[in-house]
Amino acid sequence: MGAGSGKPGEAVRPGQFSGSGKKLLVPEWLMLPKGPVRGQAVLVDGGKFREVGPARKLIAAHRELEPVRLDGHLIMPGFVDAHHHLTQSFGKAQSFGQPSEIFKTIWEPLEHALDGESAYLSAKLAALEALRGGFTTVADAGTRAPVDVAVVAKGAEEAGVRCVLSKIVSQGKGGEEHLGRWEAHPLIHPSLAIAVPEDATGKVIKRTADLCGEAGAVLQIHVNEHLASVERSLKSVGRRPVEYLHHLGALGPHTLGSHATLLTPGEMRMLADSGAAISYNPVASAWKGNAVAHATMLAAMGVRFGTGTDGTRGDGFRLVDAAETAQRLAYGMASGDSSCGAGRMWLEHATSLSADALGLGKVTGEIAAGKAADFLVVDVNVPEMTPSWDLEWELVRLANRDQITAVVVDGKLRLWKGWPRDWDGPALVARAAEVGPEVVRRADLQRVEPTTAR
């Protein structure tokens, strides 16, 4: 028997998810915190999951509602991208084949060349790609573009993705205003960022961390990303990045360190003891790094971590595949660990535990009463997953973006089979194709290796 043994995907219609009224969804499979189960239903109303339980019980309790039966489909939490750069989408393949510190030669020049319109287009394009890949939440690590971050928020909001929106405050200015600017916004959650520890004074880093702690926000900061960054920190402040944050008293549950591919055992202990979180970005390691974060060790030591794309590839299923594969190649093979956490671990760290790392654990990341209705409707009645023996492993290693029938964020249908239904996605792509090359020309990027064609 396959993962989905019911009717084919054509039986599911977009109208079943449209509108703002109550909906009683009865999928073949429902991904709960304890794993995928059959015979369950969810009641969605007002942008939240209101009830989760046995289908028969919920159907009997809500006879006024027509159950939306989703045979052959799984409802699962949307993926949560713990580290993104929404204003870097015009430069994607410009970074391929370049040395690790491409932010100096590619990303900084690219973002500095953006204006209000192009930054908005870049953010909306990245948000659309994220939604197409099953991400219902993305964390933007802060833009260097000379624009008001409101244009990034506008792009994310119009696309319909939930966004943890950072403002870079390396000079110690504007943090309080930014944290208060998006209060009670349904999709935008403010955050502060310092690109790397040596970009700001110790006083500014500590004050920014304290501001985030008081506001229930996160401080996003790149730490221990590659050898050059570790050595630069040692030369500038005399300590490795994580050690330096610990020395300043800036590590805590409100701290989100990105990458952390080069950690000493002592630094791992600092992260675990402080409650700080890490974004494990395996695709970034494969494409431009010189190390892979030891995620299974972090898990064993109790370090909180989510998974992030680093803006590389907005595809949730390929991200969890990369997360598991990178662990197996970098650490599992050498130690004879043939499971490296198994399927459930990577799904959890890409959903609920990513939400926790972003300070949104009470908001999103799992299908539970009271949480935001941020979810995917996934067609599991496909050849690749038939017959089905272990759905969680199959989602990690076999599932694909084209199986995502619907993407719902805050209870609203955002995408149907890869495209929005309430705004013109192809028109955005066409406009980005016009504007993006002009931005790259203005940026005068410094490529070390030419494009493949050249």
Q: Are residues 248 and 281 located together in one domain of the fold?
A: yes
pLDDT confidence of residue 7: 46
Strands 23-32 and 68-77: parallel
**In the block, residue with structure tokens 């391929």:** 96
pLDDT confidence of residue 120: 98
31 forms bridges with which residues in the sheet? Answer: 36
Q: Is the residue at 161 inside a domain?
A: yes
Q: Is the residue at 444 inside a domain?
A: no
Q: What is the pLDDT of residues 223-239, one digit of tens each?
A: 999 999 999 999 999 99
CATH number of the domain where residue 37 is located:
2.30.40.10
Q: Are residues 243 and 173 located together in one domain of the fold?
A: yes
Q: Is the residue at 2 inside a domain?
A: no
pLDDT confidence of residue 361: 98
Number of domains in the chain: 2
Q: Are residues 185 and 292 located together in one domain of the fold?
A: yes
pLDDT confidence of residue 16: 81
Q: Is the residue at 435 inside a domain?
A: no
Q: Are residues 19 and 118 located together in one domain of the fold?
A: no
Q: Are residues 278 and 403 located together in one domain of the fold?
A: no
Rounded distance, CA 209 to CA 206, Å? 5
| CB 365, CB 353: distance < 8 Å | yes
Q: Are residues 264 and 410 located together in one domain of the fold?
A: no
Q: CB 358: neighbour CB atoms within 10 A? A: 30
Q: Are residues 41 and 183 located together in one domain of the fold?
A: no
Q: Is the residue at 160 inside a domain?
A: yes
CATH number of the domain where residue 199 is located:
3.20.20.140
Q: Are residues 139 and 269 located together in one domain of the fold?
A: yes
Instruction: List the structure tokens of 242.
Output: 């994580």
Q: Is the residue at 433 inside a domain?
A: no
Please give the backbone phi and psi of residue 439, each rounded to the nearest 5 degrees, phi first: -60, -45
Please give the backbone phi and psi of residue 237, each rounded to the nearest 5 degrees, phi first: -125, 0
Q: What is the DSSP letter of 78?
A: P
Give the structural domain span for 395: 9-77+374-416
Find the DSSP H helices in 102-148: 102, 108-112, 116-132
Q: CB 35: neighbour CB atoms within 10 A? A: 14
Q: Is the residue at 53 inside a domain?
A: yes
Q: Are residues 65 and 167 located together in one domain of the fold?
A: no
Q: Are residues 134 and 62 located together in one domain of the fold?
A: no
Residues 6+ apart with CB under 8 A from 396: 317, 320, 321, 324, 343, 346, 347
If you count them, how many residues does the chain have?
454
Residues 6+ apart with CB under 8 A from 436: 89, 90, 118, 121, 122
Which residues in the chain come in under a pLDDT of 70? 1-11, 452-454
Residues 6+ apart with CB under 8 A from 142: 149, 166, 167, 168, 193, 195, 220
Q: Is the residue at 427 inside a domain?
A: no
Q: Are residues 297 and 239 located together in one domain of the fold?
A: yes
Rounded distance, CA 203 to CA 35, Å? 44
pLDDT confidence of residue 10: 47
Q: Are residues 286 and 386 located together in one domain of the fold?
A: no
